[in-house]
Structure 1
């Protein structure tokens, strides 16, 4: 049922049910408008039998397998357990609708499966290509074929060529598969080699860091051992504060008195300090 048809029926029922007289009658029956305490108290004193009891019987029944052939029988047995006639009638109607919908859904699934199978078959036949006879007829260029010995040999050769092509295709496919496997293995080996190289580089780096640490530690120990000696030498060479260091005064040799140039013997060419003696020109004549 479409929404349009449902709304038409619903609107007619709404107009017939929701009238002024029905609304006033419903309020009067409850005893609220107009106010009637006796009607209200009588409603509270009554203990009506509810339909939930009968529905509880249905819910306590074993579950129904909707896909089994006996589903309809199981539903009818569950409906017959209901005591109320109105409930039984409603459940029967719902059961018929449910079973009808279930049957339509099953038929739709079967039809869908058949359509998919037909489509898959059509795709496979389209990919399969032409048959051998059709290919031979196309190569001959005529509609009717008279199978002479020559044409039979041609047909056999064509069939043999097709089989060889299929075998070659299988061989190529197997070779391609082997190449793919070899490529994957080579890639895995390269990845493993790269991983091993990385691990070796990491180990070498850690070893170099450990060696450098040992060298630094040994250097610190050597420097630490040299510090007391340096302190001792500093203490020995340290002079006391407030006292100037005594400097050794070197006594210069006494300078001999100068002799006049006239008194210098003529055979003396240099002085005592080793300097060359230059005589005046007026003394060179004597």
Structure 2
């Protein structure tokens, strides 16, 4: 019996539970012991059996070879990536996991007081916070690599693409389970939002606001731009055109909470509830139930993107929007928004819901398997059909024990696995080539097509309408350039024709 199994048996009969002491006694990992005992992690043999029962020995060997190949290239695959590879080979159905809950603690007297005093409705109660994204950086994930390559110093490490550009996301949700359009701040010169960053943005079906700052962080000016251009714009109608009070719950971050910000709120019947520093990760619905799933969904998409491109091209601001928007749609759901308000005791109002979680022990969120289904398996069950066909032929053969027949079976299985893995690689390489061609196209600042600020260095926020106008202006300018070029070519041809006529005379 393994040490971990002995420790689990001991905990079953023990009167009290002490993971640290038990792990030390049986010489096993404390985190693994805790997760196994709490049912959050299966035994390795149980987890492996799902795949081993579906993959032949030859297919397992080919999969291991492929993992070694990726690890040597600096892309050691995550467990979810390996599940995808196994699905591509053996068509294993994805099994959903579970997510761990996080703890929170707060007193809600100040919020309750504001709501009662100003008769604030749920549809006028909001939570605003910000989250940063460092391009190309993947959250901590478990990966599988060739141990011999690790020992020999040949392992390059997980590709992170080297991009360290910062993008800030200003988010805001409402108690009516809706959310405001995202406000994204890219790192760049003020007002220099490039058209190539928004190549995949569809202003007719997607709503978002874009701006830039030198650091990619928020600022006093951008905080005020968000307050007026996004928050007031999308919440005023629900508050009877501003006649009803609105409650905005946020933290005390200096970038968006200053006297100018508060004075504007006071003049427009917006009550600001500022939570104390270093506690908002437990107090705010966004931190408790939205940013975690958003980070997980974004990381899953980034891992898939890195796998598809084979680490041959780095993530740029051009690709960020597609990954971000997909993650936002997957995480900012009415269910998650309602969960955030409920788990912080704000709707329904119940401080005990939060206080009861203070004593709960929580595991590190990065060790929790995501329940999101991120499989990209092909639909054709070629491996199973091939195996059935070979088995049928072998059974019909009178020389089924012949070495040649068994060798043929293993060869076919190996070829099938190789085809599936190559198909997986080629699809990613094709997309990488297309992206690389787009990347080499030089971008142009949207403000060159439309600018409504006197100071060219001031903050400029581009709404979906402005982006559509800039794109239309770009088309018109390019058409005008083409018309001018055509006119020049025509005039040149006429001049050449006149010269030839004069020569003939």
Instruction: Between the two structures, name the one with larger relative contact order (CA 8 Å, sep ≥ 6).
Output: 2
Q: Could you say which structure has the higher strand fraction?
A: 2
TM-score bucket of the superposed structures, by smaller chain? under 0.3
TM-score (structure 1 length as normaliser): 0.28
Larger Rg: 1
TM-score (structure 2 length as normaliser): 0.17
